[in-house]
Structure 1
Amino acid sequence: MSLKTSVITSLIWKFLERIGTQGVSFIVAIVLARLLSPADFGLIAIVTVFVTMANVFVQSGLNTALIQKKNADNLDFSTVFFSCLALAAVLYMGLFFSAPFIAEFYNNQSELVPVIRVLGLMLPLGALNSIQEAYVARNMMFKKLFYRSVGAVIPAGIIGVVCAYLGIGIWSLVAQQLSNAFLICVIMWFTVKWRPSLAFSFERWKGLFSFGWKLLCSSLLDTFYYNIRDLVIGKLFTPADLGFYNRGDQFPKLIITNINASIQSVLLPSLSTVQDDRVRLKALARRSIKTSSFLILPMMAGLAALAQPLTLVLLGEKWLPAVPFIQICCFSYAFWPIHTTNLSAINAVGRSDVFLKLEIIKKSYGLTILAIAVYAFRSPLGIAMSAAITAPLGSFVNAYPNKKLLDYGFAEQMKDFLPSFFLSVAMGATIYLGGNFLTERLNLAPILLMVVSAVVGILLYFGLAKVLHFECLDYLIKTIKEWKFKSNKADLEK
């Protein structure tokens, strides 16, 4: 199978996995939002930050090193597996004993203590399947991840909804997340053939760690930075305020997770296979930015334009304060195609040192802007705005090293990014102004307004892309036709 065919097939399965998983999670989240209060979501967001930070130690750095290493064998995988499992146990004990201090810091909210101790069990569960995920990604067996994710998220969602209906509040969110992690472990164990051997090599660990520790530090910085707003809002304002911010972030993040994360999860192993061929590396990076921008940007613009009717239809009137957070987060996430493509390319060529330096630079000015926003605005909305300010700056910082590494600098990347950006802005402005006009003149119901605006937006965006001869649209159509033809041919040969 050619690299292009392998990438496209893997991308489709990864995309289906994200669509299936996030689609079910999204529906469950909507039901839970109607059954639970914003304060419940705010409290669980605080706990999730600490669990996520601890989980970075377990599932980052060494796992990526396994994917990047050319000749990784079972000894490498077993070594990383046992080291991750041991680390997860230590980190869980740390969370268990620090839970009372965390609760005291967040205005003596004692209900956080048992929640932290129970939800922290996700750490050893994550360690159990993290190496299987690396094995699957390295061998581009993303079909298995589809069955795993969908098979876990549906029963976990049912458990969460039933618990919420029974009135146990925040514990329904705990039950949903914990059962999902447990089911993922069980399914991965039976669907992935890899098993750890009773072997550990300190030399192999040192070799992998020499690459992975920089990624680990980068991931820690990145995770802390992207969750610090939750921590600050949770400390300075009410749990309900944090709930509105958290839900406002959910909608654009869902799109990013489904599309951009699917592309990037396939991109790293693909780039790693041609890491010595700079011409092909640049071609793959350009294709990633063009394709992900063309697909993601109109969704961000459309979501920002329709944030109010979408919130009314899906979450209800009590969640309307989340609307401006949705719009701000849409702008911030619009720049992710540039961020993640550049970082994947840097990882693929083995320059984790450059990756770490970039993260330090970005987080330094990002935290400075956040501190200014906290002092100047003293509101959750102002804190969210700080992310929108730093997003365009991060694009330039991430692109800078690839001028030398790939001969693909910021100016050339903007030439690939801006056509989709401007077309998306035009489409978003059109449906926003048109939606206001229809609401004032015809008093359309929110759900009707959403449907009409979405159809108009899709037709306008793809129609203009066709008229303006967007290369990316032609490429996507051609690629889909080729993949469909090869799939049909393979079926006939069977």
Structure 2
Amino acid sequence: MRRKIVTGFFWKFGEQISSQLVSFVLSIILARLLTPNDYGVVALVNVFIILANVFVTSGFGTSLIQKENSDDLDFSTIFYLSELTSIFIYIIIFFAAPLIATFYKNSEMVLILRVFALQLPISAFNSIQQAYISKHIMFKKVFVSTTISAILSGLLGIAMAYSGFGVWALIGQYLSNTIIISITLAMQISWRPQLMFSWSAGKPLISFGWKMLATSLLGEFFNQLRSLILGKVYSASDLAYYNRGLRFPELISNNVNNTISSVLFPVLSEYGNNLEKVKNGLRRAIRMSTFILMPLLFGMMVTSKEIILLLLTKKWIAAVPFMQILCMSCVFDTVSNENIQALKAIGRSDILLKLEIVKKPIYLFLLLLGLKISVMAMAETMVIYNVLAVLINMSPNRKLLNYSFTEQIKDIIPALLSSIAMSFIVSFASRLDLAIGLVFFIKVILGVLSYVLIAILFKIRAFKEILTYRTK
């Protein structure tokens, strides 16, 4: 199991980095070529595609991983259900596109939405491929496929951007990436949809999956609601600055959390009803992930100005305060995520749905409160919500896994305090009257050295665990 975790994490993290790196480079190029207003339109359209994707990629594939002995009949049944759902959702988007464009007073959105949504049936197929790979912990194959698709689709997107296609460059990159990764995965794994379907086989999977789908839909809808409201109440430029500020911390947070989710869920699922092993696996994951993620986010917060100026130029300087605040909103994401993976692994999708129902009224209240004040306040309320959300997500495992708040806080505190101390040390470099690139380089070196030194001096357990993993 130890080998599975380490190997799976290595290949999955490599896959995340390879795909996100290309997307990140493309987004930087587009940010330089497009105006903040243009970029805001892309961000707004993407909200609807993300929400639509929840219906075809969440829930059902997860049920295949969670079921102990899912077979070809299970996979084929869920495949056909996912495909039918994706086609139905595409039809809705196709006919709703003019209404959406009218609501946001942007006729360009009609064609963009209709073309962009073509990825939904392909994503449905890919979600079952991903479930098969996760079930068998075959993440090396995903790494190969994702790397190939990221490079090819990235080259296409960059070529389109330089040829003057504007927002269509991003759409071309997304669509080609989805197509290529599905083709390359099909060439590497043995699973193919069979001409078989069974309601009796599908019912228990649907029973678990619909709760996961509802949970994901609630979570994603409210996550994207902020952008929907920003795009309507404030200007597209405000939305662009907010999303640019969020993009950088999300790049780090999502890569780490997606990697952990993909590896931790199937591994913990193998423990079955051995709750003690689930708890021990969860504790180790929290210690190690916070030790890695927290310093990255605190470090990004104190280097946000240099990052924006170096990568996006002064045109995007207004995104800096958003980036600083939103770095803090992502600090506890990994703790929430890992508690959720443990609940999924022991089959408690019902509790996950209840947690979302509890959290979302709080989210909506804070969102409306921030909206009434300013765009910046909307970012600040995200920090408050995420602190409350992590406490709520931690709560069920106190009884289910006997993992108390005190134990969880003890596992989190070393990384949190070390990261705060590191960021305080790094902040002194801001006073240097040097070229912006040199200041950034000094801050990075100072941050790495000070964080490692703190870990050694205070004998932080997670640091020792990471070193042990590396030497095995």
Instruction: Give the TM-score of the pair, scaled to structure 1.
Output: 0.94
Between the aligned partners of 1:34 and 1:369, the Cα distance in structure 2 is: 33
Q: Deviations over 1:457-487 (max 9, x none)?
A: 00000111001001111111011100xxxxx
Between the aligned partners of 1:27 and 1:240, the Cα distance in structure 2 is: 21
Aligned counterpart for 1:36 among listed residues 27, 34, 43: 34
Q: How far 1:275 moved relative to its partner?
A: 2.5
Aligned counterpart for 1:156 among listed residues 148, 153, 157: 153
CA RMSD of aligned residues (A): 1.0
Between the aligned partners of 1:259 and 1:58, the Cα distance in structure 2 is: 23
Between the aligned partners of 2:111 and 2:14, the Cα distance in structure 1 is: 35
- How is 1:330-479 mapped onto 2 (pairs within 5 angstroms)? 330-375=327-372, 377=373, 379-432=374-427, 434-438=428-432, 443-479=433-469
Between the aligned partners of 1:237 and 1:166, the Cα distance in structure 2 is: 31
Between the aligned partners of 1:20 and 1:157, the Cα distance in structure 2 is: 11
Aligned counterpart for 1:96 among listed residues 94, 97, 100: 94
Worse-matched range after superposition: 289-298 or 189-198: 189-198
Q: Is contact 2:30–2:166 with CA below 8 Å preserved after alignment?
A: no
Q: How far 1:248 moved relative to its partner?
A: 1.1
Return 5+ residue gaps in structure 1 as ranges: 483-494
Partner of 1:488: none
Partner of 1:124: 121
Q: Secondary structure at the match of 2:196?
A: coil
Aligned counterpart for 1:198 among listed residues 195, 202, 214: 195
Partner of 1:261: 258
Q: How far 1:310 moved relative to its partner?
A: 0.8
Between the aligned partners of 1:185 and 1:139, the Cα distance in structure 2 is: 17
Return 5+ residue gaps in structure 2 as ranges: none
Question: How many residue pairs are counted as aligned between the two chains?
Answer: 472
Partner of 2:171: 174
One-letter amino acid of the counterpart of residue 430, structure 2: N
Partner of 1:319: 316
Q: How far 1:34 moved relative to its partner?
A: 1.1
Between the aligned partners of 1:109 and 1:267, the Cα distance in structure 2 is: 42
Aligned counterpart for 1:214 among listed residues 211, 214, 227: 211
One-letter amino acid of the counterpart of residue 68, structure 2: K
Between the aligned partners of 2:324 and 2:462, the Cα distance in structure 1 is: 26
Q: Deviations over 1:334-355 (max 9, x none)?
A: 1012101110111111111111
Between the aligned partners of 1:425 and 1:46, the Cα distance in structure 2 is: 34
Q: How far 1:411 moved relative to its partner?
A: 2.0
Between the aligned partners of 2:312 and 2:188, the Cα distance in structure 1 is: 36
Q: Deviations over 1:443-467 (max 9, x none)?
A: 2111111101100100000111001
Q: How far 1:19 moved relative to its partner?
A: 1.4
Identity within the alignment, % = 41
One-letter amino acid of the counterpart of residue 437, structure 1: R
Q: How far 1:32 moved relative to its partner?
A: 1.8
Q: How far 1:11 moved relative to its partner?
A: 0.7
Q: How far 1:435 moved relative to its partner?
A: 2.3
Q: Deviations over 1:217-267 (max 9, x none)?
A: 000011011111111111111212111111111111111122222122100
Q: Is contact 1:65–1:212 with CA below 8 Å preserved after alignment?
A: yes
Between the aligned partners of 1:101 and 1:265, the Cα distance in structure 2 is: 37
Q: Deviations over 1:283-322 (max 9, x none)?
A: 0000011000000000000000000011100111101111
Partner of 2:226: 229
Q: Is contact 2:430–2:439 with CA below 8 Å preserved after alignment?
A: no
Residues 1:111 and 2:101 aligned together: no
Between the aligned partners of 2:379 and 2:415, the Cα distance in structure 1 is: 25
Partner of 2:297: 300
One-letter amino acid of the counterpart of residue 308, structure 2: T
Between the aligned partners of 1:449 and 1:436, the Cα distance in structure 2 is: 7
Q: How far 1:370 moved relative to its partner?
A: 0.8
Q: How far 1:158 moved relative to its partner?
A: 1.5
Aligned counterpart for 1:241 among listed residues 224, 238, 241: 238
Q: How far 1:124 moved relative to its partner?
A: 0.8
One-letter amino acid of the counterpart of residue 201, structure 1: S
One-letter amino acid of the counterpart of residue 72, structure 1: S
Residues 1:80 and 2:78 aligned together: yes
One-letter amino acid of the counterpart of residue 111, structure 2: P
Q: Deviations over 1:187-226 (max 9, x none)?
A: 1221221001100101111110111111110000110111
Between the aligned partners of 2:208 and 2:257, the Cα distance in structure 1 is: 25
Between the aligned partners of 1:410 and 1:264, the Cα distance in structure 2 is: 21
Q: Deviations over 1:337-387 (max 9, x none)?
A: 210111011111111111100011111111111111112x1x221112121
Q: Secondary structure at the match of 1:350?
A: coil
Between the aligned partners of 1:365 and 1:329, the Cα distance in structure 2 is: 18
Between the aligned partners of 1:476 and 1:391, the Cα distance in structure 2 is: 27
Q: Secondary structure at the match of 1:334?
A: coil
Worse-matched range after superposition: 196-205 or 33-42: 33-42
Q: Is contact 1:148–1:187 with CA below 8 Å preserved after alignment?
A: yes
